[in-house]
Amino acid sequence: MTMSIREFLKENTLTKEVLDRYLDPEAKNWACFDAELGYLLKNSETRDGMGWCFTKSTFEPAGGARKLVNYADQPCRINTYGDSFVQCDQVSDGETWQEYLAAHLAEPIRNFGIGSYGVYQSYRRMLREEKTTPAEYLILNAYDEDHVRNVYQWRSIFMSAHYWPGVRASTESTDTFGYHANPWCYLRLNLDSGNYDEIDNNHPTPESLYKMCDVDYVYETFKDNIEVHAFMAAKGAEDADWEVLGAMADILKVEIDSSSAESKIASAADIHLTLGQRSTNVTFDLARAYAEKEGKKLLIHLPYSMIQMRKVLAGAERDDKIVVDHLNKNGFTWVDGLMQHVEDYKDFNCEVEDYIKRYYVGHYSPTGNHFCAYQMMPTVVDWLNPKPSTYRHKNPETDSPSTIRD
């Protein structure tokens, strides 16, 4: 039987033990509290890499950009923002796509990625970091689940089923503690205006987080959230408010098929995804307006999950046409990670799953980050002015005899 919204919120109510560990500055934690963005990252060592190895992540200073490895003593003109595919989760410091690309271009690339962020939260971090560590060129990513993260007031309640039980069970563990994705700043679709409102974090202190250990408080605070109703309706919850969903559908131009329980669930899933994807388009517009105002250049990068990759490589249509159409229609400079893999797969004679294992360990493996860097490289080189020192050659031929050696 499908869980009700009340049951869903009760299941995800925080515990004092989790918050005590998470808010302990001396604890071995993956993340640390931030009043605006919810959380930032700490130095960590986690057994999550290829071959089940430990990966080491260093942030300089604490909560800052990931450690620069290549050309760290040189001026930096590229800052990158986004989720775990910018952070490059599950690899160590020198194995990120930024470091592979930096080594090739002979100039540093800063990494401000944060795992589990949406595009909007990454944009808000951009606004903060560019005040103190500015760069002329900005890369912002949007992974396929990031779209809905933009509109989540409290992202961790929507995470995979194994996440919360694992967190609750590990408060005394000597391993890196993984709790994160507490409330943050987010976008909310205004059902009166049809626009997305920017909303600041309404749990901006450690003390306010402890309120979320109270089942009744959590229910009263989140029970009317439209993203909760869309998410739960897509799970088949009988207490989802279809009047609210109908208003959302009208604004988002999504048709609701009420001919069966299954079709209603599919319609709710479409509303939920469209709600997120249109918020990503809003965020891209905000980021470009900011970049233009500050005399900066913006590049959008779209990486994809193993789930999305499996579907498309097996012949399914991509599900982010709303985002792709917006980028193309409005003249954004962008890199399509999905189509790069589709083209690459044509050179292989193997099953989709074997191809995916070549590049992924959940996130990109070091091999996946290397692929990502060199697929982005032509667009980045063309984007930069002046060109990187490694591309300031007199002979423009890409396959000149001087560079092809037997």
Q: Does some domain include residue 234?
A: no
Q: Does some domain include residue 220?
A: no
**What 3-state DSSP class applies to 272?**
helix
DSSP string, 58-86: -EETTTTEEPP-TTTTS---EEEE-SHHH
Q: Does some domain include residue 169?
A: yes
Q: Does some domain include residue 200?
A: no
How far is residue 146's CA from residue 300's CA, in Å, rounded to a whole number? 13
Q: Are 156 and 164 in contact (CB under 8 A)?
A: yes
Q: Quick one: 7 exposed, middle or buried, by C-beta within 10 A (0-12, 13-18, 19+)?
A: middle
Q: Does some domain include residue 226?
A: no
The 3 state secondary structure assigned to 309-356 is HHHHHCCCCCCCHHHHHHHHHCCCEEEEHHHHHHHHHCCCCCCHHHHH
Tell me which amino acid residue 32 is: C
Q: Does some domain include residue 5?
A: no
How far is residue 27's CA from residue 20's CA, in Å, rounded to a whole number? 10
Q: Token pair for residue 225?
A: 């959230």
Q: How many domains does the chain have?
A: 1
CATH number for 159: 3.40.50.1110
Nearest one of 174, 176, 135 to 46, comparing CA atoms: 176
**HSE toward the beta carbon, residue 279, CA cutoff 13 A:** 32
What's the pLDDT score for residue 395?
Answer: 66
What are phi and psi for residue 178, nearest 5 degrees?
-100, 5
Q: Does some domain include residue 166?
A: yes
**Which structural domain, as residue segments, surrounds residue 170?**
18-181+275-391
How far is residue 222's CA from residue 217's CA, in Å, rounded to a whole number? 9
Q: Does some domain include residue 56?
A: yes
What's the pLDDT score for residue 397?
Answer: 63
How many C-beta atoms lie closer than 10 Å to residue 175's C-beta?
A: 11
Q: Are 374 and 382 in contact (CB under 8 A)?
A: no
Ordered mean pLDDT values, 10 residues apiece, the chain (406 residues) = 93 97 97 98 96 96 94 98 99 99 99 99 99 98 98 96 91 96 99 99 98 98 99 97 99 98 98 99 99 99 98 98 99 99 98 98 99 99 98 70 56
How many C-beta atoms lie closer than 10 Å to residue 1's C-beta?
A: 6
Residue 186 pairs in a beta bridge with 199
Nearest one of 186, 187, 215 to 203, comparing CA atoms: 186
How far is residue 4's CA from residue 19's CA, in Å, rounded to a whole number? 25
DSSP string, 167-199: HHTTTT-SSPB-----S--EEEE-TTTSSEEEE
DSSP character for 182? -
Residue that has been written with the tokens 């980021």 in this structure: 287
How far is residue 289's CA from residue 100's CA, in Å, rounded to a whole number? 30
